[in-house]
Amino acid sequence: MGQAALVIGTSGGIGRALADALIEEARFERVWCASRSSAADVQTDLTDENSIASAAATVAAGPTLSLVIVATGMLHDQQRRPERSFRELDALWMAQNYAINTIGPALVAKHFLPLLPKDERSIFAVLSARVGSITDNALGGWHSYRASKAALNMLTKTFAIELARTHKRAICVALHPGTVDTGLSKPFQANVSPGHLFKPDRAALQLLDVLDGLKPVDSGKHFAWDGEEIAP
């Protein structure tokens, strides 16, 4: 039996582009598309662990899962934007950021890491953001988003340590896709330097190229779209 890949978040621009690229490359016997949409192969809601567990049970019945990409994230909604000052902090908004950007991907790891093969190369990747780097933070602001992504980066590191004990060839990483022309970045594109606003299909290929070049020694790290390692 061949191998399978899973992309969670295929209702979003980057997730859809990643799934399309993997399907076009035809390296996997099955590419599972997961989102809240009824059109997805498996329906997942990051705020509902039961849906994640059900999706894992479905995927486990198919080909061996060797690639999982969690391509989800929240930066703003119709009412809220990232905080410019600590004076704008709101407990509910912070909780929503953590629910989508941190807790949801963690629950995906809980249910899908056990499906990875123990003796073959496999990858579990989450979309993070450069602004989640504590070292790289020179501007401040965007408190809830930054903190939730920093927490996601830490979880990636701790998952990688635990996974290495049983899966010697597994790779668990966080990825920064750059600024991609999707609804998530739309309100913040005006200040993007020329040549650094990527279409989703290009961003997807760049991220897959990064994943192709990784080795088990890279597990637990955070990489940008161009392969640069981002400081914690």
Report the 10 Å Cβ neighbour count for 172. 29
pLDDT, averaged across the chain: 95
pLDDT value of residue 1:
58
Alpha-carbon distance of 17 to 90, in angstroms, equals: 33
Is the confidence at residue 32, as pLDDT, over 90?
Answer: yes
Is the confidence at residue 188, as pLDDT, over 90?
Answer: no
Residue 134: CA atoms inside 13 Å, Cβ hemisphere, count? 8
Average pLDDT for 138-160: 97
Question: Which distant-in-sequence residues (6+ apart) come within 8 Å of 26 by Cβ?
Answer: none
Report which DSSP code applies to 73. -
Model confidence pTM above 0.85: yes
pLDDT value of residue 199:
94
Alpha-carbon distance of 232 to 223, in angstroms, equals: 10
Tokens of residue 160, six digits:
């990688």
Alpha-carbon distance of 167 to 211, in angstroms, equals: 17
161 pLDDT band (50/70/90 cuts)? Answer: very high
pLDDT value of residue 194:
76
pLDDT value of residue 181:
87
Amino acid at site 122: S
Is the confidence at residue 140, as pLDDT, over 90?
Answer: yes
pLDDT value of residue 49:
98
Task: Yes or no: say if 34 and 42 are a contact pair by the CB < 8 Å rule.
Answer: yes
Is the confidence at residue 127, as pLDDT, over 80?
Answer: yes
Domains, the chain, in order of start with CATH, read 3-224 (3.40.50.720)
pLDDT value of residue 79:
86
Place of tokens 């479905």: 58
Q: If you average pLDDT over each of 32-36, 80-84, 135-139, 179-183, which comes out highest?
A: 32-36
